[in-house]
Amino acid sequence: MIEQDLGHATGTSHLLAEDSALQLFQIAALMLGNEQQAVSLVEETVAKVETDPCAEGTLAYLEARTLLVHIAVQRMAGLHPEAFAVPAIQAADAACIETDDLESAGLTGEQFGALIEGAGRAGMREWLERLAPALRAIFVLRAVAGQDGEQTAESLRQSGATGAQAWRRETVGAAYRQALCSLATCLMSSRTMLMPA
């Protein structure tokens, strides 16, 4: 009986570790747009985690996610330093969607999961490739990594990019809504193309 419980506990922690690694890979791949770089980033991040993943799996994952996001944003800012300055948000863009949640783009959590993990993955990555680097980072940090507006602003400020110190919760919110507008438009046009005449 004890061996069975230990086996179950070991199996559960193994599944949690696999799930955590997959989530980290997903964040890295969506931010960097390159699966090989994403694998390298996850390996680098996991090697730096100080919390014991066997003893404290959730804390280790949160530490790894924080490190991964920090490194990914720095890499993106290193490749596109000017792109991380706070843009002037157009009033028309900001008015397209009024709230900071995925449902305002017409997506449920399940539908979004299908876009980043399932059949819609290729389309989602193509859409992300068309976003400006800062918008891409903001979208992934908010929608996938689960950061709020202030955490995302702090991630951008820590990037070291020129002009990134000006990011605030409000400017992140406006940029995120702009990305949601773009996603909603993309989803509507792809649904239109898929509908029979």
Range of the domain at 90: 86-197
Q: What are the tokens at 58?
A: 């959730």
Domain check: are 132 and 111 in the same one?
Answer: yes
Domain check: are 51 and 128 in the same one?
Answer: no
Domain check: are 70 and 100 in the same one?
Answer: no
Domain check: are 14 and 73 in the same one?
Answer: yes
Amino acid symbol at 152 = T
Q: Which of 54, 79, 104 is the last residue of a domain?
A: 79
Domain check: are 159 and 74 in the same one?
Answer: no
Domain check: are 99 and 73 in the same one?
Answer: no
Please give the sequence-ordered ranges of beta strands (E in DSSP) within 3-79, or none if there are none: none
Closest among 111, 112, 133, 102 to 33, alpha carbons compared: 133
Question: Which residues have C-beta within 8 Å of that of residue 160, sequence separation ≥ 6?
Answer: 74, 77, 78
- Per-residue pLDDT of the chain (197 residues), as tens digits, is 433 333 334 444 555 667 888 899 999 999 999 999 999 999 999 999 998 888 888 899 999 999 999 999 999 999 998 999 998 755 444 456 566 666 655 566 676 666 677 666 777 888 899 999 999 999 999 999 999 999 999 999 999 898 999 999 999 999 998 888 888 887 777 654 333 33
Domain check: are 112 and 186 in the same one?
Answer: yes
Q: Which of 62, 79, 96 is the last residue of a domain?
A: 79
Residue 125: the pLDDT is 85
Task: Outline where 33-56 has alpha helix (H).
Answer: 35-48
Q: What are the tokens at 93?
A: 């863009």
Residue 192: the pLDDT is 42
Q: Which of 29, 62, 79 is the last residue of a domain?
A: 79
Task: State the total domains in the chain.
Answer: 2
**Distance in angstroms (rounded) separating the CA atoms of residues 179 and 152:** 14
- ∠ CA 46-176-38 to the nearest 5 degrees? 25
Amino acid symbol at 126 = E
Question: Which residues have C-beta within 8 Å of that of residue 4, sequence separation ≥ 6?
Answer: none
Q: What are the tokens at 153?
A: 């602003």
Domain check: are 34 and 91 in the same one?
Answer: no
End-to-end, the C-alpha distance of the chain in Å comes to 62
Domain check: are 182 and 112 in the same one?
Answer: yes
Domain check: are 72 and 113 in the same one?
Answer: no
CB 102 within 8 A of CB 140: no
Domain check: are 173 and 91 in the same one?
Answer: yes
Domain check: are 15 and 44 in the same one?
Answer: yes
